[in-house]
Structures are given as structure tokens and as C-alpha cells.
Structure 1
Amino acid sequence: MKRIAIIAYALFTVAGGVLGATGTRPDSSAAEVAAYDAAHQGLVQLLALVVFGAGLSLATWTAAARPPQLGYAGGLLASGSLLLSGLATWTAAQNPDVARPFTALAFAAGAFGFAVPLALLIADVARAERKWLAVTGYVIAALAGLSALSMLTDVLYPLIPVARFGGLVWLVLATFVKPRD
């Protein structure tokens, strides 16, 4: 079940990256967000579903992996953040009057709101991995944790995809590479 869940999580995450690549950005105006969401409602709704699916897949992986308490909490909080991001994205697509605030919430939940709890999951799971994988996990977890500072400055936004996609690759490796003896 753990392998199926991580493959589903990977597919949903990559699909979300592709679908969201042409969308609005956190600094887009309310008018830009409303216009984009109105013109691309079906795409935005599909993006919402894909992000929601990623959250469910990560929750399934977390339950199957059975990490220690801190990692378990991090995995569930990260998956909950993705679920919230998906729901906020869907809500933004429903009504142009609320598109901007719900798009901001979707970004916050799917960015640093996701990355910081993911750091807890990765750091906890890394303890049982082979040394090279553990060290890589700790580096990704540290960068993911630092992404919280992007709430203060958009200069640190590049940490978010490092956490999101670096974390994805790391979780795939942690799922398929045999842990240390």
C-alpha cells in the first residue's frame, strides 16, 4: 500500500505542478485572479482535485509508513494542508468575488503550510534510512523548514518547490530504498 500511495502522490504532485504552471501567482491582483479563474474554471477545478488527491495520497503513505509520532503528525499536517489548498482552489473557481482571498489561502496552505509539516515527516523518517538518504533528507527537511520565512519575503519562495519536489523525490526513494539494518 505504501508504494501505491507514493506513486499516486508523485503523479498527483507532478500533475498539480503542470496544471498550476500557467495560473496566477501570489502577487497577482484580485482582478487578474478573478479573470483567470473565470476563463479557466474547468482547469482550476481539475487542479483543485489533483491537489486534493495529492493530500489524500500523502495521508495514505503516512499511515502505511507508520513513522514515529513527530513524523506521523508532520505527514498528517502536510496532507491536511494539501487538502485545504485543494478545497480553497476549488472555492476560488466558484465565485470571482472570493477568488483572490481563496487563491491566497490555497497558495499559503500548499506552499509553506505544506512544506513545514513535511519537514517534520522527512526528518523523522530519515532517522531509519541509509546514511546518504538520511543526510539528504535532513537537508531537504531543513530547507523545507526555512520555507516558513517566505511568509516574510518572497525572496525565499524558491525554497517552496525545493521542499515540495525535493521532498517528493526523497519520499519516493525512502519508499523504495531498503532502510539500514
Structure 2
Amino acid sequence: MNDIQPTSRRRGSGGPPLGVLAIVHAGLFLLALLVGVLLSGPGAAFLSPFAGADAVTAHAHADWAAIRIGAMLQFGSAVPLGIYAATAFARLQRLGVRVPGPAIGFAGGLTASIMLMVSALGSYLLSRPELTSDPHLALAFSYLAFAAGGVGYVVGLGLLIAGIAVPGLILRLFPRWLAWVGLVVAALSELSFLSLAVDPLQFLLPIGRFAGMAWLIAAGFLLPVDRREVRDARGARAEVRS
């Protein structure tokens, strides 16, 4: 009995399941988008601030319920993302990664989580009719939600992915193709900051957002919990080659 308990503790000390956290994060975010479509309709659910102050104000007054519920779900999706970043940092440390990558990833994941919260709060303020009687104020809330949830979130997400993918590639913690895909997604996410001045580059935002979410799910399920799993995986690959 004494031999079983320490083993169980070692196996259970890897923190919350990363893959599940990533699924919850993506699920809540996608649910926020779905609520907007169902309550407002596909054409009016996601009005860009570039539509102008009058259009944004009309949207805020007509679809305040959809905006508010979406903001609530988006805020909730930021919580598992922050937990993911902290758990991934602790797990990489446990796996013996002593380079800046995990710390950079944690900083990026925390940034992405906070930016998502800021974006959600901006949307919540946009849903308050008493605050959006001034079209210019409504437009300011819309731009805040767009910038924080767009560039702010995606750039932070890219750092999180890079902080996991680089040590994953060097130490072969998961398949090399997954690490390279992560590096590509991270690079595109970081380049999205250019869209603050070059509007056509805004197409990088959905690429970084949705590809990044998918990558976090895959990496979350494949990242080893402890060094023994790494040794076992390397031994299995060596047997296959021989």
C-alpha cells in the first residue's frame, strides 16, 4: 500500500489536464460567437468598429443582450487559458526545461488571458445603454474590445505557443511536426501586431486565434507529465528505428 500511494501522488502532480483546459477555453469562446449569431443574426453579430460610430451605437442598442452574454462567456474563457499557461510552465519546469522559453510562454499566456478579459469588459460596457448614448463613447468601447481581443490576445497567445513549441522541438517532448506547426502559428501571431498600422494584415488575427486554440488542444494532450514518459517515448522510438 505504501508503494502505491507515492506513485499515485507523482502521477497526479502534473496539474490540471492541459488538453481539457484548452478545450474549455476554446469551447467557451466559440460559444460566445454562437450566442452572438443566434441572438443577433449572422450579419449583425460581429459589427466591426470600422463601421463607424453611428452603426456601432445602433448595434449596441439593438443587440445589447447578445453582446452582454457574449462578453460573459468570453471573460469566462480567459480563466482556463490563464490556468493552462501556469500549468504548462510548471510542467515544463518539471520536465527539466531550464531555459527562458517556459517563462516567456507563461508571460504570453497571462497576457492573452488578461487581454481577453479586457476585451470582454469593453464589450460589457458597450452593452450598457446608459453608456452608449454618446456614439463616440460607444465607438471607443468597440475599439477597445476589438484591439484587446484581437492583437492583444493573439500576440500573447503566440508567445505562449512559442514557449511550449521551442522546448518541445529541442527536447522532442511531442512530435516534431506539431512543434513546427506551433512555431509557424506563433510567428504569424506575432506578426499580427503589424495590423495595428496596416489594416489588410488583420487576416492574421483569425489565423492566430483559431489555429492557436487548436494547437493548444493538441499540445495539451501530447505534452508529457513527467520525465519518465519522455524516456519511455524515446525508448519506443529507438525500438521502432532498430
TM-score normalized by the length of structure 1: 0.94
What amino acid is the match of 1:12? L
Greater CA radius of gyration, 1 or 2? 2
Deviation at 1:111, TM superposition (A): 0.4
Q: Deviations along 1:105-129, whole A, 9 cap, x unmatched?
A: 0000000111111111100101223
2:27 aligned partner = 11
Correspondence for 2:111 among 77, 95, 102: 77
Q: How does 1:159-174 map to 2 (within 5 A)?
A: 159-174=204-219
In 2: Cα distance, 1:177 partner to 1:165 partner = 19
1:113 aligns with 2:152: yes
Deviation at 1:17, TM superposition (A): 3.2
Alpha carbons 1:52, 1:82 under 8 Å: kept: yes
Alpha carbons 1:93, 1:99 under 8 Å: kept: no
Q: Deviations along 1:101-157, whole A, 9 cap, x unmatched?
A: 011000000001111111111001012232111100000000001110110122111
Moved more, 26-35 or 63-72: 63-72
The answer for unaligned runs of 5 or more in structure 1 is: none
1:101 aligned partner = 140
Q: Deviations along 1:146-172, whole A, 9 cap, x unmatched?
A: 110110122111100000000000000
SS at match of 2:152: helix
SS at match of 1:157: helix
Q: How many residues align?
A: 181
2:122 aligned partner = 88
Moved more, 169-178 or 9-18: 9-18
Deviation at 1:40, TM superposition (A): 0.7
The answer for unaligned runs of 5 or more in structure 2 is: 1-15, 93-101, 169-173, 231-242
What amino acid is the match of 1:103? S
In 1: Cα distance, 2:151 partner to 2:71 partner = 18
What amino acid is the match of 1:75? G
1:123 aligned partner = 162
In 2: Cα distance, 1:91 partner to 1:121 partner = 28
2:177 aligned partner = 132
What amino acid is the match of 2:143? A
What amino acid is the match of 2:150? A
TM-score normalized by the length of structure 2: 0.71
1:156 aligns with 2:183: no
Deviation at 1:178, TM superposition (A): 4.3
Deviation at 1:175, TM superposition (A): 0.7
SS at match of 1:132: helix
Correspondence for 1:46 among 50, 69, 81: 69
In 2: Cα distance, 1:16 partner to 1:142 partner = 26
Moved more, 164-173 or 97-106: 97-106
SS at match of 2:48: coil
What amino acid is the match of 1:74? G
SS at match of 2:49: coil
In 2: Cα distance, 1:155 partner to 1:143 partner = 14
What amino acid is the match of 2:186? A
SS at match of 2:188: helix
